[in-house]
Amino acid sequence: MKKYIAELFGTFWLVLGGCGSAVLAAAFPDVGIGLLGVSLAFGLTVLTMAYAIGHISGCHLNPAVSIGLFVGGRFPANELLPYIIAQVAGGLIAGGVLFVIASGAAGFDVSAGFASNGFGAHSPGGYSLVAALVCEVVMTMMFLLVIMGSTDKRAPAGMAPIAIGLCLTLIHLISIPVTNTSVNPARSTGVALYVGDWAVSQLWLFWVAPIIGAALGAFIYKFIADEDS
């Protein structure tokens, strides 16, 4: 149970820190942190939580990561559903806290996006469904490859959180204009349900694409890392 609670709090921090930076600070008058700041915020949430709870739960914070690690033979099937439930719950709680904070400002309008992921008219750069799908699959694939490689017993000890946090930062630097960057169904769900409407109707892609990408990343890493192949 402690592992699941750790995942809940870890995912809470990821969504609050990452989406909170996008909603509250990205375009703040004169001193907004911009896309670079938001990208760093997402990376820092994973980096800090990896050191805080990595030894308790593994610090997945992401249903796609848990599924990818299962596919890669690093995670037991019987813990998969409880982890996903805890991650989504943490994301939803964070979305609620962020909603309460953000709604304290005059002119707040949740329908403007609330850091939700989208494609087509709801992509920051107007990217199509196909572009969003490919982007999310490839980015999550590379994320899993880095996660599995940096946590391999042959990798330098203690450095995995840095590699994983920087990888997530890089992913956001690449893909915020395309989808607002998901690579994490819990992150997407945590804010989309407060927006409703288009954010919920497009949410399926931000479950399907990251899961496909994570499975691909796990398969690829198993192939290239197998010393017998």
Q: How many CA atoms lie within 13 A of 70 on its CB side?
A: 16
pLDDT tens, the chain, 229 aa long = 899 999 999 999 999 999 999 999 887 666 678 889 999 999 999 999 999 999 999 999 999 999 999 999 999 999 999 999 999 999 999 999 999 999 998 888 898 889 999 999 999 999 999 999 999 999 999 999 999 999 998 888 889 999 999 999 999 999 999 999 999 999 999 999 999 899 999 999 999 999 999 999 999 999 998 865 4
- Distance CA(4)–CA(60), nearest Å, equals 10
In terms of DSSP H, where are the helices of the chain? 2-20, 34-57, 63-71, 80-102, 129-150, 160-179, 185-195, 197-201, 205-225
Asked if residues 89 and 12 have their Cβ atoms less than 8 Å apart, the reply is no
Q: Is 99 exposed, middle or buried (0-12, 13-18, 19+ CB in 10 A)?
A: middle
- Distance CA(208)–CA(214), nearest Å, equals 10
Q: What is the pTM of this model?
A: 0.93
